[in-house]
Structure 1
Amino acid sequence: MGKKIVFSELIAFGDLKEMIDGNMISNRSAIIASYALCGFANFGFPWYSRWGIGGIAPERKKDISELVLKARLGKTIASFITACIAGILI
C-alpha cells in the first residue's frame, strides 16, 4: 500500500504479481489487495489534477490546489473501504 500511495499503483501491482506468483499470499488476500490498489490516490495525481483542471479553469487554480489533497485522501479511503467490503463478501 505504501508503494501505491508514494509511487504508483502500477508499481504496487507489479509487486503484488510477484507475491502471487511466489505463493506468498493467499488468493483471498490477492483479491483484497487488488481492490485496495485500484484508484488514483498517489502523490503525483493531485498535481496532474491541478494542471489538467487548472488549464480548463485557470481562475480557480487556488481552489483546485486546496481541494486536490482532500480529494486524494477521499480516494484512498474509498479504495480501502472497497477492499474491506470485498473482504467481507469473499
Structure 2
Amino acid sequence: MTGGRGRRGRRRALEREITAIWAETLGRDSVGPHESFVELGGNSIHAMKIISRVEELIDAELSIRVLLETRTVAGMTDHVDRMLAEEHDA
C-alpha cells in the first residue's frame, strides 16, 4: 500500500517538474496538465528543448515522438512515469 502512495507522490512531483519545463520553454506563466502542446504555441524548437530538459530530469533518453504523441503534460508524465516504473522493475 505504501508503494502506491509513493508512486503517486513521485508522479505528482514529476508532473510538477514537467509542467515547469513546459511553462518556461513556452514562455507561459502556467500550463494546465491537459493543454495541448500545439495549442500552447509549441513548435519543433520548443519540442527539442522540452525533450532535452526532461531527459536531464529523468536521466534517460526520450524520442521527440513522446511529446508529439502524448501532446500534454499529463500524457507526457504518464509515459515517463510508466517508463521509469518499468526500468525500476527490470
| TM-score normalised by the chain length of structure 1 | 0.30
| TM-score normalised by the chain length of structure 2 | 0.30
Q: Which protein is richer in helix relative to its size?
A: 1
